[in-house]
Structure 1
């Protein structure tokens, strides 16, 4: 197993006033040929949107687009007739397929902090679909909550609302945890690629990462320490195990991808 760090302050970053955003991969005006995508994972944007603002109606095709809500409330509207207000713990997945139009705006008086994630589908030309799931903090506490999984995976229900992970038409699984001080979780990879991201929960910070801290081990060499906003590429053989330990002074919110 090999770990390659992706420091928070090296991500693409833009402050538009109404939107403060980080880009793990090339996106909009940010381009870095070394960070265009990883396997089927194409976008991880960590966005903060001010009240009474948002993304106006715009179009997407083919991408699998999922939003992971960290704080605040986000209103989603789309050309399939879906209207929904999402809050902390909600996971919304739109399979854009042959094409959809949607908008996303803050709902209520507080800013919204969320991660927008895109993956590449295994099959093009699918009919657009929309799914929502909710995962309480208790489900993530000191263990992995399985929040996204391939549509043909075990226990995956292809309904708009259902328990379990949201279905995605990509070879990707997404897990989330709220890891307490001194606690650790492990994951055995099903595939050969992974990515880990520590959510920037303690506030917008464009400088060197701070806040919660985790230690990632399982690879040859020294363990890798990550703080809020930091991430790492993981190259693993199927069956190899990664361990994530909270070595900081507060709860860490961590996302882990297992993918091709």
Structure 2
């Protein structure tokens, strides 16, 4: 990225991998399962960003994972998590669950109750292999996130990060990924400045607009978000995302230019 202060590349929802299995409707930002695109095969340590809707009485049965940091961000409905570490939990809107699979775990994720669950399934590559499996949960209210960036996941050892199973502040991830979330009301603009650590190195970010308006088979609808900075500008609708690349200290603006609220995830990736 020599000579470029800031670059924004849109990732339209209509170009994401997607599937409708009846019990599951899913979109894949990056290559996943039967969907493969060498141009969208992860971004830095961020490897999976799936937006899933699961019908009541169904879900992902018990299956294994290893050497991934796996987190679930619940948008609506309720999600039941069970794993081989003995954790059993029902997650609701505002909840975030993070499993560091490490040397290996088995888990299931199923809809709880009579309503579908809508959640984002996110995987990141760990900074090192062979870690002991661990499990964390956090809760962040809509009030916390309204017109405010809330740090919901951050690297182990970062300021304010607790490695307690349940705690205030961000969940600890063994990966160079920090995840911020916000709910923007119409007209609101929030800046995000790339950290200055590692001066001279390019920084990466991925921005995703949550598809809160529903499952869209055609062009994305609902909220509209504008990303801008250094003379660049891109507009995103629900389900859309964007790759952002810039130098340390550079700022990108995230603004809701639509009529409804916009729920936005901002991944800052070293």
1:6 aligns to 2:11 (yes or no): yes
Structure 1 Cα separation of the partners of residues 190 and 208 of structure 2: 14
Residue in 1 that maps onto 2:82? 77
Contact 1:213 1:247 in 2 (8 A): yes
Change (3 A) 1:74 1:166: same
Contact 1:85 1:107 in 2 (8 A): yes
1:211 to 222, 227, 231: 222
TM-superposed CA distance for 1:159, in Å, is 0.7
Residue in 1 that maps onto 2:252? 242
TM-score (norm: length of structure 2): 0.95
What secondary structure is seen at the aligned counterpart in 1 of 2:131?
Answer: coil
1:225 to 230, 235, 251: 235
Structure 1 Cα separation of the partners of residues 247 and 218 of structure 2: 34
Structure 2 Cα separation of the partners of residues 37 and 240 of structure 1: 23
Structure 2 Cα separation of the partners of residues 236 and 168 of structure 1: 23
1:200 to 202, 211, 226: 211
Runs of 4 or more above 6 Å deviation = none
Structure 2 Cα separation of the partners of residues 97 and 219 of structure 1: 40
Instruction: Trace 1:42-81 onto structure 2 (pairs within 5 A).
Output: 42-81=47-86
1:168 aligns to 2:173 (yes or no): yes
Contact 1:65 1:118 in 2 (8 A): yes
TM-superposed CA distance for 1:219, in Å, is 3.6
Structure 1 Cα separation of the partners of residues 37 and 217 of structure 2: 18
Contact 1:2 1:220 in 2 (8 A): no
Structure 1 Cα separation of the partners of residues 239 and 32 of structure 2: 17
TM-score (norm: length of structure 1): 0.98
Structure 1 Cα separation of the partners of residues 248 and 105 of structure 2: 35
Q: For structure 1, which runs of at least 5 residues remain unmatched after alignment?
A: none
Structure 1 Cα separation of the partners of residues 63 and 230 of structure 2: 42
Structure 2 Cα separation of the partners of residues 144 and 196 of structure 1: 13
TM-superposed CA distance for 1:220, in Å, is 3.5
Structure 1 Cα separation of the partners of residues 211 and 59 of structure 2: 20
What is the number of equivalent residue pairs in this alignment?
259
Deviations 1:128-171 (A, max 9, x none): 00000000000000010110000110000001000000000000
Q: For structure 2, which runs of at least 5 residues remain unmatched after alignment?
A: 1-5, 196-201
1:183 to 185, 188, 202: 188
TM-superposed CA distance for 1:60, in Å, is 0.2
Structure 2 Cα separation of the partners of residues 90 and 23 of structure 1: 21
Residue in 2 that maps onto 1:39? 44
TM-superposed CA distance for 1:206, in Å, is 2.4
What secondary structure is seen at the aligned counterpart in 1 of 2:14?
Answer: helix
What secondary structure is seen at the aligned counterpart in 1 of 2:213?
Answer: coil
Contact 1:8 1:206 in 2 (8 A): no
